[in-house]
């Protein structure tokens, strides 16, 4: 009997790489814009404001998950360590490193250090995903970093500033690398929500022990507005978008998108009245775009037996495209659908709401009694 093709499988196999990368691109643009916004928080209590930020983001993520009917599962076993590691390094310690670092170094030093994360992710990310590093990504990562250096400059620093910059780089890498072992079970929603609420608890403890809650009285309305922006767009939205891209294309290829953040920061500065960027910034923009174009392009897809397609080289483990039944078997139980989930995944809302997207149809022979 003749087999019937599944529309959702055809769409997935022919979807351009941009669809999988778009959530991460938007997320990095939001992160870059946070540099300008965060400047208004320099004089605010560090731990207290950040604790409020992440607590508000956790409540927002929880509410959106309920509306989108996303099933959030509780961590178990070692997952607590991975998620707590994300919160401790990628959220708490990273913020401390940035704030303390700019006291010893120009902001460009910290920005360049953070922009160097594609090199670490290109090497360490694939190892955590149990595959070899992509040669294309390894060649493109230094190009993206060089473009970021041109955009941000180098800046002056002392020994302490270098140390804080290195710490910020490590924390930024941990934010992605520590999520790799738990993304398969928890997905972008679960990893984002658990990391954010854990970070809020850690920062809340630091607020009580180091600063004192009474310090929050000194926060101005403008600073609270900046905190709200960071909570909604830079935390809740950007976390979801970033982890979705990491799950879709792998940490190594997704790490290249970190080069977009300095570009977004420079654009936000220009939009806020700092003037038109100079030639070095435009050259850096071209270099970053060239590096991204070279690094995110698939290294070639191979055709497998029975007309199935295998994933491009460098794709995350388990991403091989096969029959619709195989794709359904790889989908974690309770995977949600709907417009909000489509927003986080970068897929069209209509596709996410279609019956074939929710439950891929078995071939006719398998469905026949």
CA distances from 87 to 77, 199, 323 (A): 17, 5, 37
The pLDDT of residue 365 is: 37
Q: At what angle do helices 238-249 and 46-67 cross, to 10 degrees?
A: 70
Confidence of residue 293 (pLDDT cuts 50, 70, 90): confident
The pLDDT of residue 106 is: 66
Confidence of residue 317 (pLDDT cuts 50, 70, 90): very low
The pLDDT of residue 158 is: 78
Of 142-151, 178-187, 210-219, the poorest mean pLDDT is in 142-151
Q: Are 9 and 321 in contact (CB under 8 A)?
A: yes
Rounded CA separation 349/153 (Å) = 41
Mean of the pLDDT values across residues 22-39?
A: 83
CA angle 344, 80, 358 (to 5 degrees): 30
Rounded CA separation 128/174 (Å) = 12
Mean of the pLDDT values across residues 296-312?
A: 48
Of 17-26, 51-60, 133-142, 230-239, the poorest mean pLDDT is in 133-142
The answer to whether residue 21 scores a pLDDT higher than 60 is yes
Enumerate residues 6+ apart whose C-beta is below 8 A from 168.
94, 97, 98, 101, 110, 113, 114
What tens digit of pLDDT does each residue of 271-289 get? 766 666 677 767 777 777 7
């Amino acid at each position: 009997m003749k087999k019937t093709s599944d529309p959702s499988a055809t769409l997935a196999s022919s979807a351009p790489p941009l669809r999988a990368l778009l959530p991460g691109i938007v997320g990095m643009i939001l992160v870059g814009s946070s540099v300008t916004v965060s400047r208004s928080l320099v004089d605010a209590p560090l731990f207290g404001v950040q604790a409020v930020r992440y607590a508000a983001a956790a409540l927002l993520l929880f509410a959106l998950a309920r509306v989108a009917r996303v099933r959030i599962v509780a961590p178990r076993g070692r997952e607590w360590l991975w998620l707590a590691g994300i919160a401790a390094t990628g959220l708490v310690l990273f913020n401390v490193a940035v704030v303390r670092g700019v006291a010893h170094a120009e902001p460009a030093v910290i920005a360049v250090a953070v922009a160097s994360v594609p090199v670490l992710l290109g090497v360490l990310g694939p190892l955590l995903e149990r595959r070899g590093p992509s040669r294309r990504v390894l060649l493109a990562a230094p190009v993206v970093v060089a473009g970021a250096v041109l955009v941000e400059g180098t800046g002056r620093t002392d020994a302490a500033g270098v140390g804080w910059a290195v710490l910020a780089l490590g924390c930024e890498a941990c934010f992605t690398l520590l999520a790799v072992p738990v993304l398969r079970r928890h997905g972008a929603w679960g990893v984002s929500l658990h990391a954010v609420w854990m970070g809020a608890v850690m920062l809340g403890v630091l607020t009580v022990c180091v600063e004192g809650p009474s310090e929050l009285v000194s926060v101005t309305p403008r600073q609270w507005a900046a905190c709200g922006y960071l909570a909604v767009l830079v935390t809740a939205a950007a976390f979801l978008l970033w982890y979705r891209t990491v799950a879709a294309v792998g940490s190594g290829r997704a790490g290249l998108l970190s080069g977009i953040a300095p570009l977004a920061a420079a654009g936000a500065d220009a939009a806020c009245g700092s003037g038109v960027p100079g030639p070095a910034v435009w050259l850096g923009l071209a270099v970053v775009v060239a590096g991204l174009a070279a690094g995110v392009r698939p290294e070639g897809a191979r055709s497998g037996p029975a007309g199935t397609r295998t994933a491009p080289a460098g794709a995350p483990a388990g991403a091989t495209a096969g029959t619709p039944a195989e794709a359904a078997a790889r989908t974690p139980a309770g995977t949600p659908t709907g417009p909000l989930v489509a927003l986080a995944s970068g897929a069209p809302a209509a596709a996410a709401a279609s019956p074939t997207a929710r439950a891929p149809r078995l071939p006719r022979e398998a469905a026949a009694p």
